[in-house]
Amino acid sequence: MRILVVSFYYQPDLSAGSFRTTPFVKALAKLAPAGSQIEVITTQPNRYHSYTAEAPAFEQDGNVSIRRISLPKHRSGVGDQGLAFIAFARGALAQVGNARYDLVFATSGRLMTAALGSLIARRTKAVLYLDIRDIFVDTICDLLLGRLAPVARPFFRALERWTISRAARVNLVSRGFEPYFTKRYPKQHFSYITNGIDETFLNGAPVTKDTASREKQSEGLTIVYAGNIGQGQGLHFIIPQLAKRMGPGVQFRIIGDGGRRALLEQAVADAGVKNVSILPPMQRDKLMDEYRAADVLFVQLGDFPALTTVIPSKLFEYGALGKPVWAGVAGFTATFVSDEISNAAVFKPCDVEDALAAFERLELRDAPRVAFCQKFSRVSLSVALATDALRAAGGTPRVATPELDGAGESAIPTAMAQP
């Protein structure tokens, strides 16, 4: 088989898309029929303006070839991200040329990468498999476009229909997306294979039953958030107020970058608090040190309807590490946290009083979440996704090797797939 993988992010970039696609490609390389060639078209690392990493424009690894397209500099604004995607699309189409593929796999947190995959599949007469990581139409209209939303929404709805209609199968990373997509595309075939926990975090999980409880108001209590600092997280609405209310004995460490970092920095300055540190994105080995030193791990999604159905990939990292999880989420996301992550306290996004009340429900102790780690192992889920994609194209996956923990076709639980 000749397989094309289209992903805006790939290693060594720091993003949920990169962390999902890289192990997927590794699983695909193991499971694809003998003699298969896998091509990855992606970008040079660009997730954060403040983070740079070197990566070759072309890389060959066994039966996998990787081509990285250079992009103009951007700072996560709508306009400059649009220009960056145009550069990616032009480069990808130039790389594909007149090639023919058996399968095009496109993973997309933003609809445009999925649309590019759909266009390439049409041009190359390939089977299309889409991995959808967000309900982009609602997200961009609710979070970014403001008054332009009524004009933009019909365009993006039409683009979504054009994109989804071409796919042989669509995977949705959250069951929360199910009502939206099944209502609009009742004839489409959907799978539900989530994000997962990478080996780095599985190895960092606590092995003892628990550690001694710590006092909530003790000096030196550290709360860590790591991830994007954007409109979708709304940290600037809550972190300064929480820091002021909880006092100098509680240190907040915010690790990351994004379009609202400057607003967060200004809000912290305006609040006059000295117990908030805002640090740049960091490699995972350094991030693990921050996690180990934390007493509580914090996450929030902004108060937007579009964000009540997503499962932030950060939750899988947090859950694996056995730390208390303090989560400002709503809707399906809140249900997922409550059902799947022990010692997690949920509060209404951007609600300081509810957040403080939720914090009091946490037990400040580290304890392993064995069932959670087993259920959401990234390796097993990557095998499931690769197997599902190969089946959609009529391919027969090979028996998995020991490196894939013996998982193969059985890696797709019946609850994950909808025939």
pTM of the predicted model as reported, rounded to 2 decimal places? 0.88
Which tokens go with 362? 């946490």
Torsion of CA 44, 48, 197, 20, to 10 degrees: -30
- Label each residue of 278-345 as H, E or C: EECCCCHHHHHHHHHHCCEEEEECCCCHHHCCCCCHHHHHHHHCCCCEEEECCHHHHHHHHHHCCCEE
Residue 272 confidence (pLDDT):
97
**388/411 Cα distance (integer angstroms):** 10
User: What DSSP element (H or E) covers 356?
Assistant: helix 352-359
**228/48 Cα distance (integer angstroms):** 9
Closest CA to 128 of 185, 170, 167: 167
Backbone angles phi, psi at 228, to 5 degrees: -70, 145
Residue with tokens 């990787």: 66
Residue 137 confidence (pLDDT):
87
Residue 337 confidence (pLDDT):
97
**158/136 Cα distance (integer angstroms):** 12
Q: Mind listing the pLDDT tens digit of every residue in the chain (419 residues)? A: 999 999 999 999 878 899 999 999 999 999 999 999 999 999 998 766 555 677 899 999 999 999 999 998 755 566 677 888 999 999 999 999 999 999 999 999 889 999 999 999 999 999 999 999 999 888 777 766 667 778 888 999 999 999 999 999 999 999 999 999 999 999 999 999 999 999 989 988 887 655 556 655 546 899 999 999 998 899 999 999 999 999 999 999 999 998 899 999 999 999 999 999 999 999 888 999 999 999 999 999 987 888 899 999 999 999 999 999 999 999 999 999 999 999 999 999 999 999 999 999 999 999 999 999 999 999 999 999 999 999 999 988 885 444 443 333 333 433 333 33
**294 in Cβ contact with 221 (< 8 Å):** no
**246/148 Cα distance (integer angstroms):** 39
DSSP 361: T
